[in-house]
Amino acid sequence: MGYFLIITMVFITDLIVKTVIEKRCKLREQDRFFHGKVIIQKYYNKGFALDRFEKYPKLVSYGSAAVSVILLIKLIVLLFQKGYKGLKIALSFIIGGACSNIFDRFTKHYVVDYISFDVKWEKLRKIVFNLSDFFIIVGTLLMVISKKPGSEKKRKSAQK
């Protein structure tokens, strides 16, 4: 049940931050923090990252929802299996973040993004993120590095 709490907390936390950004910030107006390196600004993303497929909003909305349902089914299946804690946490982060962005897509027809970084790498400078995006990124990285239960034992016994 803790994994559904993670999903809910990620969803609600980002929803609260997006609500504050919507009320307090003007579109594309920037406030800079940490010596100007972190930029808070309201941006409406109508597609995937970098507005990709913005001309196909139904594809973006329903495609995101479909992938999220598949990940949710995977998490539910894993809940009936021992182990896989890292993968379960990873999926919870991804699903929580995805649900927040999907909620925006279906209710507002855009995702509210609000954090960018003034860095040397131009491609990264152009991206405006939200908290859900960071949870999706961290969840994806955690999923990649998560190991199956018993893999450590198998590796040790193979070395003997």
- Beta strands of 87-137 (E only): which ranges? 111-117
pTM over 0.95: no
Cα–Cα distance, 21 to 31 (Å, whole number): 11
C-alpha span between 155 and 160 (Å, rounded):
9
Provide the phi-psi class of 39: left if phi over 0, else alpha when psi is between -120 and 50, else beta.
beta
Tokens describing residue 15: 């929803």
Please name every residue paired with 33 in a beta bridge, in sequence order, or none if there are none: 38
pLDDT at 57: 81
pLDDT in tens, the chain (160 residues): 699 999 999 999 999 999 999 999 999 889 999 999 999 999 999 887 766 777 888 888 999 999 999 999 999 999 999 989 999 999 999 999 999 999 999 999 999 999 999 999 888 888 999 999 999 999 999 999 886 555 444 434 544 5
